[in-house]
Structure 1
């Protein structure tokens, strides 16, 4: 090991004093002490501001501190005292900044002024808002609308997102990719085919009624820590939690709740996972097939003996179709193949199935460990099959729970951020605003990347995010990006995408959600949707980082007014003055989802959008829930048997949220000082001739004529299934081919990347 990298396995529980110490370090590093009181008074509270981190649900009766370690870090990151004024760019050329790490770039602090790239000096120079809007408008006018992309990350409010999608469609394109294309687009494609809805079916209250939780491909301790509160409460009443995940994660193992003083003092953790199965990368379909096979065999035996059945035959007969074909496929599956692909013994899969069968109501939780595979949709639909077998959709305490990432990524789709025209009420928008929306589907994220590389994208507008770090095929993307005519980035901090300028590039700094958004009619309210489809209001409480900052709605309106012909039906200025008028417009466009929108803003716990599958109403082509057969036992479609090829899982650290890197430590995995590491099974390390702590190179094993190779990684032994390795996102995105994605949704398959490893 080098002095900068330490490998010291973490033995403490998730939460507890480790989280407290981490937060103390981060608030001091960011000089964000002003954020402290608000965490308890306003964070995720009615009348306060909603967290900018994950999209987990907010309870109607919040805890004293309704925040987690990562949410607090996100708030400190937003409310830092550090600043990036024009003087910073005067002393740093863009080409020099490209050598900085992701953490070091964002750690400089908040952007304070609108900036325009100057190629002659290789620097960003200050520009007035008026001139920025005018030049952006001039750069967009007269272009083929389909050569322009309007990308959205998951942090923008419902109000901003609605205005943004309207801007794009008035301009003439449905090129509205968003960050969900890279994570849960698989969910949005798979669930409608199975149960007729693109979102989960559970509400927060269902955790109080469930008898069992299954989790696949989700690291609760890092990705949705506030879910641990619900899991702890159900563990208090003896409810089993069955986890399938390749890596043993501390969040699933032990939790000490900082809101329980007695537990903190005793440091006596709650055991979360009652059964923990380390499934191989891409082996989840096989694991679920094994569980389903056991259920069928036990149901046969129950029928023969006249005892209580295992399956819910009445539900299957009344509410589903496709069961006969599905059960034939499962019965035909060979146990030896199931265990080989899943990496789990038959006894383990039967034990998981026994727990599932013994529960009346089951919630299935999943994350990107299911969605980011070549057969990601099959993964998700197999989990739905498992629930349908025992009627675990549409009753209290039961249902499917996809855990979304960014705090409003699900809500953006609800108000029209979608490249697929069948997801948007175009006829209603046409009548509402007196125009003819484009009727051709736009490009999703992968298709945008293909078009950028081919030179077909001429202008890119980014509503937040760090697009070039988030997408696959980094080398080709960065090379092609510089050939575009226009790049406009609405941002709060400097990131890698800003350092690959197009011919004309603008940085437009904006407020964060926790800052006061003062407009003509006073402080404004924005809204967002959580993972359980509940809508919440958010009110900023802190003074903005700079008087030069504009709100996201105001920036979108400024671009729209500089670009589009005047349309009296679209009151951009009135909307900016009073966001309640935007909500009235959203209600008019989406009346079923947003009935009495302004009247329900402060409903404790938010108000839930209607989800027909919660009521066992199936909006599928068949009118029923569908058992859909997976196309293979392995979600890594086409994977060969070459023993030298390993499957790489990319993952986030404890000091990270998506592409935002808060620090170089991953406390919960015991890795400190570096992100350039590879976790692997000791037997795999030895088999490949790599020394413990040695330097290694990873090379993508895809045979497509493109070399994708990265060195400089340090090998660290971890408890992982044979053939599975893990390393950090977004660093390893450079190893992912653009075509390596879910076959239906085109979500990048970042959880089973074929790679070769060698000493470096």
Structure 2
């Protein structure tokens, strides 16, 4: 830990370098990983190897010697641990006892080895056979109204598993198929779809080789997608300028030492990544974008009057967009005083950033959940697209909008049918191919599923991976309501808290990991996933499974379907389990434009690109063009500021991935040994009468009368904007009301939670 002159803590080193190496070595030791893990890491993210279970950043056609980052290596070692969570462990510890354990300690018990049934009479998990589990779960599902069941999917399940899971749900009779996208990037799917006609980003890997500037909003590259730092470093070295907007100064976008460059490692010479770093107020991105657009339009007026030369792309705007006049009217009518107040940035700072934009021929806009997880996050995305459209920065090489996805296949699951929105799925084709009538009514997303669990209308929950109960808002109410369900089923590799909050009938079903050999009747199987740049990659595991009693996710989904559904000769669950290539044939039949020749192309180096209409300037919007939108407000925060009310930003450390906690070292923020912290700047500390090290609580200040509290937090001085606080996810999820979400997508607004400090 180091300190700035103002007393705030920080990490004095760069992202990457020896710190990353030490982080990997520490996890290697904690997990008691075998030497075979090194061979596995050498195959990670490479053609013919296995695809990382961590982030969804793309896998290049010409990989580095080590094509993994610190977080990716931790995820692999976490899966390859030699620790085992056996039936003997569950015999020794009741579920009630385990509820008192920390998340980290639960997962440190290692890989689950046997299917388990919860016995409420003894409050213990007890072993059962796979046949018993499938038969019992099938009987429970058959006894329920299908609309009362929820089939949730985390973002790591393969395309093959996801396709079968969605098919299972629809044949069973519902579209209740929420996934982890609902909790993170659903705002992208809704927001981008509305304005450019594509629910995903438009960039490909080569765009980062030719762009002149990159504008980042609310994305922590160093912790959440460190391999992205390689193309960013290369871009900076060739002259690309990177401008970052983020309330938190994240080390990955400040400086980087490439661990694969011996000279940089020996010399300690770091590359400065961002040429400008603007600590925008949480939720102030709309105002910051309006400010930059205002300067661009001012320069358009000046230069055209003086030189008869445009700085905006008038031909592109006329040919490809609608709503331009309404948008510029809004920009011109917005005062700099309003912009400065809502963004927390000065006019001079925003003009400095806008000058980079004006000086660049090709610009990419990159963003993460810091932009999207707000009540008006969809409007933030609209404003970023407005900013890019002004100079034609979508649909040309070296340009585009690029959301950085979190989980390894969260985008791909949507592509092959995991969606509660029936209009996004080719249901007519599915009906014709499989001889049944799919349900057409909209299903439950994450927030709606939670609402109906609270009301008692949802009776069954199947979780395909993930840690749903820990990841959602309103945790205390949700855990209490969860136990009133009839059936809960969790498919997982390791124990987590969601497995301890059970319905009347509960099963814990252990599955293979992606690094492990998946041997079926026709031989070893491969699976596929989609990265955040819309490329599809094949993946083959080689390691010996953690237990001979594990089944693959495909086999588990097929087993559940066979035990639940009436016979249908077109639904070839056993054949699909025996040969995953047959599942890929099914995907290609339903999605021929994107997945033709699927089996032949799945190991294309760098993945095969499934295409993007907006990249071709084909706008699949209602207007048939890219839409400029007019924001209704300058802040994306849902509850207005008030005396004593703060905006809490929930954050992940670089020693975790989603809800998985690898350790207690948030090295890149200078925080060691604890996650019970409240980050606040020294000015706010003084105003609130707090001192460093003091223990405080955060309480909800959403104005709905519900008491939500997280206590025992240690005050640490940290460089944040005034009015903003920082705390860790998922520990602070208990402070987020279930109703506090993006208006368009219902994504929980976890980056601007209204709270007060209780000393």
Report the equivalent of 2:250: 249
Q: Is the 8 A contact 2:9 2:716 kept in 1?
A: no
2:570 corresponds to which residue? 569
Equivalent residues in 2 for 1:330-345, closer than 5 Å: 330-345=331-346
Q: 1:284: Cα distance to partner?
A: 0.4
What displacement does 1:649 show? Answer: 0.4
When the two chains are superposed, the root-mean-square deviation of aligned CA atoms in Å is 1.1
> How far does the alpha carbon of each residue in 1:40-95 deviate from its partner, in whole angstroms, 9 at most, with x for none?
53100111100000000000000000000000000000000000000000000000
2:636 counterpart of 1:668: no
Compute the displacement of 1:642 (Å). Answer: 1.1
Does the Cα contact within 8 Å between 2:9 and 2:717 map onto a contact in 1? no
In 1, Cα distance between equivalents of 2:211 and 2:40: 30
Tell me, in whole angstroms, the C-alpha distance in 2 between the residues paired with 1:652 and 1:134: 39
| Residue ranges of structure 1 left out of the alignment (5+ in a row) | none
Compare 612-621 and 26-35 and name the one that shifted more. Answer: 26-35
Aligned pairs for 1:524-539 within 5 A = 524-539=525-540
Deviations, residues 304-349 of structure 1 (Å, cap 9, x unaligned): 0025321011100000000000000000001001001100000000
**Contact kept in structure 2, 1:516 and 1:543, CA below 8 Å:** yes
Q: Is the 8 A contact 1:688 1:758 kept in 2?
A: no
Q: Distance in 2 between matches of 1:308 and 1:65?
A: 48
Residue 241 of structure 1 aligns to a residue whose secondary structure is strand
Residue 314 (structure 1) aligns with: 315
Q: Secondary structure of 1:401's match? A: strand
1:366 aligns to 2:367 (yes or no): yes
**Counterparts of 1:40 and 1:715, CA distance in 2:** 38
Aligned ranges 1:410-421 → 2 under 5 Å: 410-421=411-422
TM-score, normalised by the number of residues in structure 1 = 0.98
Q: 2-side partners of 1:356 and 1:122: how far apart?
A: 61
1:68-87 alignment, distance < 5 Å: 68-87=69-88
TM-superposed deviation, 1:35: 4.7
SS at match of 2:463: strand
SS at match of 2:595: coil
- Match of 2:679, SS state, is strand
Q: Give distance in 2, aligned partners of 1:611 and 1:35.
A: 39
Q: Does 1:683 align with 2:689?
A: no
Matched residue, 2:4: none
**Alpha-carbon separation, structure 2, partners of 1:492 and 1:240:** 42
- Counterpart Cα distance in 1 of 2:568 and 2:575: 13
> Aligned equivalents of 2:36 and 2:106: distance in 1?
22
Residue pair 1:690, 1:758 contacting (<8 A) in 2 also:
no
Structure 1 distance, partners of 2:101, 2:705, is 30
Q: Find the residue that maps to 1:506 and give its secondary structure.
A: strand
What TM-score, normalized to structure 2? 0.98
**CA–CA separation in structure 2 for the residues paired with 1:40 and 1:151:** 30
- The superposition leaves residues 231-275 of structure 1 with CA deviations (integer Å, 9 ceiling, x where unpaired) of 000111111000000011111111000111111100100000110
**Runs of 4+ with >2 A deviation:** 6-9, 33-41
The 1:8/1:640 distance shift into structure 2, 3 A limit, reads closer
Kindly tell me: are residues 184 and 35 of structure 1, through their superposed partners in 2, closer, same or farther at Cα, counting changes over 3 Å? farther
SS at match of 1:382: helix
How far residue 705 of structure 1 moved from its aligned partner, in angstroms, is 2.2
Does the CA contact (< 8 Å) of 2:9 and 2:718 recur in 1?
no
What is residue 186 of structure 2 aligned with on the other side?
A: 185
Q: Which residue of 2 aligns with 1:714?
A: 714
Structure 1 partner of 2:214: 213
Deviations 1:665-690 (A, max 9, x none): 10110101110101111111111111
The answer to whether the 8 Å contact 2:10/2:718 transfers is: no
Deviations 1:564-614 (A, max 9, x none): 000100100000000000000000011111011011011110001111111
Equivalent residue for 2:90? 89
Paired residue for 1:648?
648
Alpha-carbon contact 1:35-1:75 (below 8 Å) kept? no
Contact between 2:8 and 2:682, CA under 8 Å: does it hold in 1?
no
Residues 621-665 of structure 1, C-alpha deviation per residue, up to 9 Å, x if partnerless?
11100001111100013x334131000000100100000000111
Q: Distance in 2 between matches of 1:667 and 1:307?
A: 52
> Hey, what does 1:467 align to over in structure 2?
468
Instruction: Supply the distance in 2 between the matched residues of 1:35 and 1:418 (Cα, whole angstroms).
Output: 38
Q: Matches of 2:556 and 2:470 in 1, distance apart?
A: 24
User: In structure 1, what is the Cα distance between the partners aligned to 2:663 and 2:204?
Assistant: 33
Look up the match of 1:405.
Answer: 406
Whole-angstrom CA distance in 1 between matches of 2:693 and 2:289: 35
